[in-house]
Structure 1
Amino acid sequence: MTAVATDRPTLPTPADGPAAAERGGRRKSVRSGFDRVTVEWVKLELMRVAYATRGGFLARRDPRAVLGWYLVCAVVPWLTYSTPALAVFFVLALACALAARIGPLLLGLFTLGLLGQAAYVLVLVFVLGGNAAAIDGLLQISLKLGAISLASMAAFVSLDPEKLSDGLQALRAPAVLGFGVSYGYRMVPLLIDEFQTIVDGHRLRGAPPRGHGFLGWRTAVRIGTIAVQAFYPLILNTAKRTRTTVEALETRGFSPTGTDDPGRRLRLAHLRFTWADATLLLVTLGIGVSVLVLL
């Protein structure tokens, strides 16, 4: 019998030693991790964020309680200039964000933004001859903004468009505000999908690139050109989707439920403010007051 040659790569086996198997498993895990960062993955992550599919400790609460919780978390950090108190608020907000399951996309963008802001602010302070007091003041601002950002992500990731719109309407917010929030939540994933379709069309009709160039300048120019050319069709298609969405909402009686009291009561009849919601607000307010007094 003659051996048949194949191009299939040889996988590491236990006979090759544990080091070879570990290297092969590491290469496989790194490759699968980078394969996840695609436009489709970003779109799915935005869908999970917009429609609150991850769950979390705030997803089961009444939307009015969640909005009240967010209001307390957003106001309390501005009432102090103590760095230890702000550090405690930041850690608590981070714990709440992780418990709310905000997802790796938002957490990664938040981390990159926070680290980038801290880096350029420190460079600016040292260039302008700042001292330790200036660094402490900038640290306080960063902790305040970080705590409020984490609380915002934890609150709004836990609310789908219907719950958020109902919560705003129950608090007597203008109906236009509820419509804008619901429409914005629904349009973000659609915009990503529409942008991907337009970019794929440009890539199919355009000439292939002649290499990446020095430091990838050809690729950067091509991506920038496609992004600029995709702007007008994206706006046009978004306008068409806006008209369709408005007509669908009007057909279902969106405007009368915002101005008519019987329609409003019927729409909000499913909301229940329970003892668990009141406990959430009281515990959050108690922790905030305790940190302000003790630190």
Structure 2
Amino acid sequence: MTICYQVPQGRTMHRGFQIEGLSDTFGTESDSRGRAIRDKQISTVRSTLDAYLSDDGSLDAKALSKAWFPAIKADVFISHSHNDEAKALRLAGWLEQHFGLNSFIDSTVWNSADALLKKIDDKYCMQENRTSYDYDKRNLSTSHVHMMLAMAITEMIDRCECLFFLNTPASITPGKTINEAKTSSPWIYAEIAISKTIQKKQLPSSRRVLDFVAMDSVSKKADGSVPLIHELDVAHLSRVSEMQLLIWAIKSCLPPKSNPLDILYELIPARKYTHL
């Protein structure tokens, strides 16, 4: 199996937030809207490999990644645990309903990655007996798909103006200090690390025009997860409570009208040592 790559060029985002204590009832009125956003994002993914095969049988990684992990126009990147998908969908719907903000929900790409990996494994990694996969080939295919996924995540975080991380017991466990935490999710770890290392972007005045129209593996644990824990540095993410989200919505309804993200930045100033 041969997959060819092109080196991507980087961009920057502006702010990152960690939303804490989001209740199960928050945004329930926006649930159907959030699910519609997810379904629309999933519908952009293509489900074939043949279109990306070269004459020599290799796969074009750039074209494949563009089809399976498409760059979606979004204002907010929502990072969350798989177990918090319902909360993430309601938050995305709530952001669209109250502010007209478009959200990228990261769990949509996880499903795409699993489906793409299955197709590649079935085509390139199956043993002659057609009942099991070649271990070495599957390790290689997993590396390729996860690398494409990591690049797609980086590009989407760069494209979005800010990142919202759902800080819940499902996503992290508390550390010794308020800004120390741990996570068993390699993708949450990657997203937060990316958001920390990306250079902070200054917002051009021309952008502030507001339109008011409306990783699977062999398990060692009972829950199916791999027992690897990552240290998670969330110190660069501004802390946001559910109450502050509601205050943000109220302030956005008051004159003078301005971009809702500007209102959020004013409501929750960035820390001086933020390096997002």
Q: TM-score with structure 2 length normalisation?
A: 0.28
Q: Which has the larger radius of gyration?
A: 1
TM-score (norm 1): 0.27
Structure number having the greater strand percentage: 2
